[in-house]
Structure 1
Amino acid sequence: MTLDATLAQIDSSLDAALDRLAGLLRIPSISTDPAHAADCDAAADWLVADLQSLGARAQKRATPGRPMVVGHIDGPEAATGPHLLFYGHYDVQPVDPPDLWHTDPFAPEIQDTPHGKVIRARGASDDKGQLMTFVEACRAYKDVNGSLPCRITFFFEGEEESGSPSLIPFLRDNADELSADLALICDTSMVAPGVPSIASQLRGMLKDEFTIEGPAIDLHSGHYGGPALNPLREISRIIASFHDETGRVAVEGFYEGVHEVPDNLLRQWENCGFDEHEYLSSVGMTRPHGEAGYSTLVQQWARPTLEINGLWGGYQGAGTKTVIPSEAHCKLTCRLVGDMDPDALRARIRKHVEDRLSPDAKITWNQDLDGSPAAVMNTGRPEFEAARQALSDEWDREAVFTGMGGSIPVAGFFKDILGLDAMLIGFAQEDDAIHSPNEKYNVTSFHKGIRSWARVLDALAK
């Protein structure tokens, strides 16, 4: 069978695929650091050459920041399968602090660990290793069959780790070229070791920041302690009003657009292999502290949050200084689910704060922060069930539709700008240390990830 031959080709060429991945990992494509701009260019050039080796019409495309890579490859004549847009990013996080790395972060090594072989390098998991699982699946499929099973557009970004400032303008300017039937995104993880996962919903994000001003200057607490409004006490009182005693957000209208998880999806989540004890104990907690009445997974994937990310004011130096500060500051974020509207929610949160201000307290808001809605995938499309079955066949374990606690804005951008549903499939593990020292990617994740994509491509083409 064609698929069997493709899988055999993947198995026999794994060492060569790992060598190619190592070549990409050696390039320190840190997008946030201007000193590595040339390295980002080099990574884009490497990917263009690799796609061209598959027969793709590939180019490096300039942006005001780091370049994009776009490649097109046709399927066989008279192919009836979907046109797929595959997205990944080639830029990586900085390596700081470098002294915590046990090896050179840009000299990839295959290492034996108690949990099997890993490839150790910055970007091994996020996202070069994941990106290359798809490229290698395409390579094997084409080597065996002479062509890919359907038309594919490759789209690789170089600024994902630095906020994607060029992404939206590029999508808008090139919408016709990037249009397809379905988007595939690989920047995700498995819900548990050995459990293949398709992310079906991503939480959105709202950011805000405010400053409360009180006295015109910092005051001596002996002269003004008592009569003076203390901005730190003021901001603490307001922040305490954000949640009730059950962990529910107490901002009026906060839960507008939130939906309960369907029973069939809850059943998948309950049997997905998630280890709540390990999840909590790994960061020193003994119990969940979120919204009462919801499991840890539901809190993480399907409930909105309002979190205080930064709080400061007053004297920060050694010892004490008997001062009443003139200002206090707060940074907050909300994770959004369902149909929550970030703009409407921002207005509700600001009203909640301003309605509770004391006389003589003045407030200013940061006007430069953004928000993005949640992304909920249309899992009713037949392609999603076909991909789920393909993953189940490869991993010999039922694949599950999962949620994600974090945000991958590109999925929402594909929907809003290109009108594309996105399917998010990744093979990272929770212990891959992405964004941290000693990042790794399991060789099994890489190998079975390639095999998984070959199966998914074959299933989608049919």
Structure 2
Amino acid sequence: MPKPTADQIDAVLAHVDRTIDQSLGRLFDLIRIPSISTDPAYGDHCRRVAEWLSADLTAMGFDASVRDTTGHPMVVAHDKAASGAHVLFYGHYDVQPVDPLALWNTDPFEPVLQPLENGDTAIVARGASDDKGQLLTFVEACRAWKAVTGALPIQVSMLFEGEEEAGSPSLAPFLDRTAAELAADTVLVCDTDMWDHDTPAVTTMLRGLVGQEVEVTCADRDLHSGMFGNAARNALQVLADVVSSLRTPDGGVAIAGFYDGTRELPDAVRKQWQALPFDEEGFLRDIGLSIPAGEKNRSILEQIWARPSCEINGMSGGYTSAGFKTVIPAKASAKISFRLVEGQDPIAIRDAFQAHVRARIPADCSVSFKDHGLAPATTMPLDSAFLRKTLEALSTEWQREAALAGTGGSIPIIGEFKRRLGCDALLVGFARFDNRVHSPNEKYDLSSFHKGIRSWVRILAAFGDI
């Protein structure tokens, strides 16, 4: 279709408003199917959701199908009738388990509407926010465009997977098989948060991840501390010395070459973050702390979004049950994770870490390692026309400037899209921080769902200029 006119956009938005109850009904139908991907007992339900989505998209005029994998199926859909830009929208239809069930106030798979103190309404159910509600905001925006104008303003493909909550084991091989079919100008992902209750955000920076499990072995058995104390190596002491050597006094990481390739935050992004209403003292106070850790002279937002980190996630060894046992442990282990920023190579970081550890292991002791994830950081180019148009559309809909955000977490699938499809990703989500994702009583605000649909209507129209 030709570039959408202002009157067409207004008509589509009005249709969204008039039909929001029907959109909500479809979301409820989708939520009622308990698509828990990590439990084999729910495999049939995962397929039911995939078939539901495929049938719904087909009825809308998409060329949609359910694609089998070695795990749960994928859903692929295309509408390439329009000219111009081509986007691939990604979402996941699987959900987390509901345990502990006793902490839910209602049936996790029977969505209910509950009034909130701020005047909004919460959709309470497993998957309401992560990711069925978010996924459906885009689908409903496409439905509105087709209902009002008969066509989409740009070319749209969709990919919905059913294993995101299980680590996406089938995604990479599936992308390899369908790379030519799914290639697009950009990937759109709706699985992130707003900046605050009223401010939309585009997540442009995702940290990468290196996970390592380390096991140190000293003696050939646990030893009596009275008989062997001082004379025999203590595996926990050796490991503690290694772990303490990972950080510098000023809060940095002491591994040689760790910061190779890292770059300073662009001034424009730093100024934008400084202007965001972020309470550093409150951020720490909410978790019972008051003194910032990490690198000195770095803001908290910079530390958690734009700087690499090294964290000890767990240590074990010796006697840890009730009571006391005077033992010198023969083995000790630790789980350590590194969050990476753009420019850092996960394999190089892993190798540098292992070299750092080996150099500190006594000659009569040994060490072994186990990988728990290797993923690079990803960054959306700030000069992207898709990013610029998205920010403009979001700011118009929410009547306030959309934020450029980072996230301290890692979403490895975004790197897979870049490596296997050559596509950058735009992460636009409408969840709020109190949505209790993965927890009992998960919710998605009705305003998030309604204005999320309206936001995608505007974004699709804005992409018509590209």
TM-score (norm 1): 0.97
* Aligned with residue 373 of structure 1, among 363, 376, 386: 376
Distance 1:393 1:120, change over 3 A: same
Find 2:195's aligned residue among 184, 191, 194: 191
CA gap of 1:140–1:277, structure 2 versus 1, over 3 A, is farther
Q: What is the alpha-carbon distance in structure 2 between the residues aligned to residue 287 and residue 427 of structure 1? A: 31
Q: Could you say which residue in structure 2 is the equivalent of 1:305? A: 309
- 2-side partners of 1:311 and 1:371: how far apart? 21
Aligned residue in 1 for 2:4? none
After superposition, where does 1:81-92 map in structure 2 within 5 Å? 81-92=84-95
Counterpart of 1:144, as a letter, is: V
SS at match of 2:437: coil
The Cα shift of 1:221 comes to 1.1
8 Å CA contact 1:185–1:424 kept in 2: the answer is yes
Give the aligned partner of residue 56 of structure 1.
62
Residue in structure 1 matched with residue 421 of structure 2 by the alignment:
418
Q: Deviations over 1:13-45 (max 9, x none)?
A: 111111111111111111111111111111111
Answer yes or no: is 1:253 the counterpart of 2:257.
Answer: yes
Distance 1:283 1:138 in 2: 41
- The secondary structure found in structure 1 opposite 2:113 is strand
Conserved in 2, the CA contact under 8 Å of 1:254 and 1:345? Answer: yes
Q: Conserved in 2, the CA contact under 8 Å of 1:75 and 1:149? A: no
Q: CA deviation at 1:290?
A: 2.0
- Does residue 46 of the first structure (1) align with residue 65 of the second (2)? no
Residue 151 of structure 1 and its aligned partner are, at CA, apart by: 1.2
Alpha-carbon distance in structure 1 between the residues aligned to 2:248 and 2:295: 9
Matches within 5 A, 1:118-157: 118-157=122-161
Secondary structure of the corresponding residue to residue 87 of structure 1? strand
SS at the partner of 1:174?
helix
Separation of aligned partners in 2, 1:47 and 1:379? 33
- TM superposition shift of 1:396: 0.5
Alpha-carbon distance in structure 2 between the residues aligned to 1:98 and 1:281: 30
Q: How many residues align?
A: 458
Report the Cα distance in structure 1 between the residues aligned to 2:347 and 2:431, rounded to whole angstroms.
Answer: 33
Q: 1: CA distance between counterparts of 2:185 and 2:462?
A: 15
Distance 2:72 2:136 in 1: 20
1:128-277 map, 5 Å:
128-277=132-281
SS of the aligned residue for 2:444 comes to: strand
- Distance (Å, rounded) in 2 between the aligned partners of 1:317 and 1:208: 25
Query: 1:356 is matched with which residue?
Result: 360
CA distance in 2, matches of 1:279, 1:90: 32
Q: Is the 8 A contact 1:305 1:336 kept in 2?
A: yes
For the residues of structure 2 that align with 1:237 and 1:65, how far apart are their CA atoms? 43
Instruction: Establish whether residue 101 from structure 1 lines up as the match of residue 104 from structure 2.
Output: yes
Determine the C-alpha separation between the residues in 2 that align with 1:34 and 1:287: 45
Match of 1:118, SS state, is: strand
Q: 1:388 — aligned with what?
A: 391
Compute the displacement of 1:405 (Å): 0.9
CA distance in 1 between partners of 2:81 and 2:98 (Å): 39
Instruction: Check if 1:454 corresponds to 2:461.
Output: no
Distance between the aligned counterparts of 1:287 and 1:14, measured in 2?
46
SS of the aligned residue for 1:232 comes to: helix
Structure 1: distance between partners of 2:282 and 2:93: 31
Shift of 1:96: 1.6
Of 16, 20, 29, 1:14 maps to 20
Q: Secondary structure at the match of 1:363?
A: strand
- Give distance in 2, aligned partners of 1:121 and 1:285: 32
Q: Determine if the alignment matches structure 1 residue 332 to structure 2 residue 336.
A: yes
Q: Offset of 1:103 from its aligned partner?
A: 1.4
The root-mean-square deviation of aligned C-alpha atoms, in Å, is: 1.2
Residue 346 of structure 2 is aligned to residue 345 of structure 1: no
User: Equivalent residue of 2:55, what SS?
Assistant: helix
Rounded to whole Å, the distance in 2 between the matches of 1:416 and 1:364 is 30
**Do 1:307 and 1:332's aligned partners in 2 also have CA atoms closer than 8 Å?**
yes
Residue 429 of structure 1: which of 412, 419, 432 is its match? 432
* Structure 2 CA distance for aligned equivalents of residues 452 and 139 of structure 1: 14
Identical residues among aligned pairs (%): 50
Q: Secondary structure of the residue that 1:448 maps to in structure 2?
A: helix
Question: Gaps (5+ residues) in structure 2?
Answer: 1-6
Shift, 1:316, TM fit: 2.0
Distance, in Å, in 2 between the alignment partners of 1:55 and 1:280 is 50
Mapped contact 1:130–1:186 kept (Cα < 8 A): yes
Q: Indicate conservation of the 8 Å contact 1:191/1:273, yes or no.
A: no
State the shift of 1:181 in Å.
1.3
Cα offset, 1:379, TM superposition: 2.2
The 3 A distance-change label for structure 1 pair 140 and 287 is farther
Asked if 1:5 is matched to 2:8, the reply is no
Greater shift in the superposed pair: 278-287 or 91-100: 278-287
Matched, 1:33 2:36: no
Deviations 1:218-256 (A, max 9, x none): 111111111110001111111011112221111111111
Code of the aligned partner of 1:327: K
Deviations 1:61-87 (A, max 9, x none): 1000111000111334xx3x2011000
1:256-315: CA deviation from partner (whole Å, max 9, x where unpaired): 111111111111112223333443233222243222111111111100011111110111
Task: Give the Cα–Cα distance (whole angstroms) in 1 for the partners of residues 261 and 74 of structure 2.
Answer: 35
Stretches of structure 1 that go unaligned for 5 or more consecutive residues are none
Q: Out of 68, 74, 92, which is 1:68 matched to?
A: 74
Q: What letter matches 2:39 in structure 1?
A: D
Query: How far did 1:410 drift?
Result: 1.7
Paired with 1:284 and 1:66, the residues of 2 have a C-alpha distance of 41
CA contact (8 A) 1:229 1:360 kept: no
